Amino acid sequence: MKIDLTGKNALIGGSSRGIGRAIAVQMALSGANVTVVARSEGLLQNLVHELDTSKGQHHQYIVTDYSDFEKYKKQVDTYFQNNRVDILVNNTQGPSAGSSLEKATEDYQQAFDLLFKTVQYTTQAALEQMMKKKWGRIINVASISVKQPLSYLALSNTIRAAVVTWGKTLATDVGPSGITVNSVLTGYFDTERIEQLNQKKAEQLGIAEKEVRRDMEQQVPVKRIGLPEEYGFLATFLASDQAAYITGTAIPIDGGLLKSI
């Protein structure tokens, strides 16, 4: 099966590194025009120069901080004045780690703005043209923690669950217009984010970081951490015409880590 995204415009959040970057690389290889979004202009510039252009694609970037919602809104509005998006990948940096006992009400509000309001606002902006064209793909990068909460990620557990249920609701509303909405439940992947979380966990437990990683690998049935490019393959398939009958789902990509069916 050959996935061809030629002529499609993809907007990919959190894409200067890790999972978002891998999705951008794979979608560009499949022919999409890619706009990458993140906080680091240097990393974004390097990525745009590295993305495949063999099919005549045009790539660009947006420098933004998802945690500043009002500024982010203005940037989104400006972008959509001159750009149409066919494929939207909602992905942001994660909120700070910590248990439910460590987080205050203000922390949950900030996490809501970061993980939910940015997603809803960007999607609303993209939907106008998708509805007119009768074609669109919305992919929400979520986490397995919405099904199997991780005690040290109280904020992420809570707000990402809201994103997934919102995505399911949206899928029903936009399905007649040829638009699919799917959430991907992310397991353990070899990214800087997981290194940061492992470092904090190691400090809390008073053990070496490599021991935390080894324990993590042993929890996964396939006995390894996922590669970002494997995530890119799934996201690119969901963005394709071949995935037109897949919508309203929450698909785990976790090496079998989730205990539930």
Please state the rounded mean pLDDT for residues 63-71: 95
The catalytic position among 72, 79, 108, 152 is 152
Name the phi and psi angles at 7, rounded to 5.
90, -10
pLDDT range class, residue 193, cuts 50, 70, 90? confident
DSSP state of 113: I
For residue 87, the surrounding DSSP H or E stretch is strand 87-90
pLDDT range class, residue 134, cuts 50, 70, 90? very high
Please state the rounded mean pLDDT for residues 112-139: 98
Please state the rounded mean pLDDT for residues 233-252: 98
Cα–Cα separations (whole angstroms), residue 86 to 5, 6, 47, 129: 10, 11, 21, 8
Could you give the angle at which helices 228-238 and 18-29 cross, rounded to 10 degrees?
Answer: 50
The pLDDT mean for the chain works out to 96
Q: Which two tokens stand for residue 106?
A: 């203000």
Say if residue 206 is exposed, middle or buried (CB neighbours under 10 Å; 0-12, 13-18, 19+): exposed
**pTM metric for this prediction:** 0.95
CA angle 35, 36, 41 (to 5 degrees): 125
Asked if pLDDT for residue 205 goes beyond 90, the answer is no
Active site residue 152: yes
Q: Give per-residue pLDDT as tens, 6-55.
A: 999 999 999 999 999 999 999 999 999 999 999 999 999 999 999 999 99
Domains of the chain (ranges plus CATH)?
Answer: 9-187+227-253 (3.40.50.720), 191-225 (no CATH)
Cα–Cα separations (whole angstroms), residue 79 to 62, 145, 253: 9, 32, 31
Q: Which two tokens stand for residue 239?
A: 């963005």
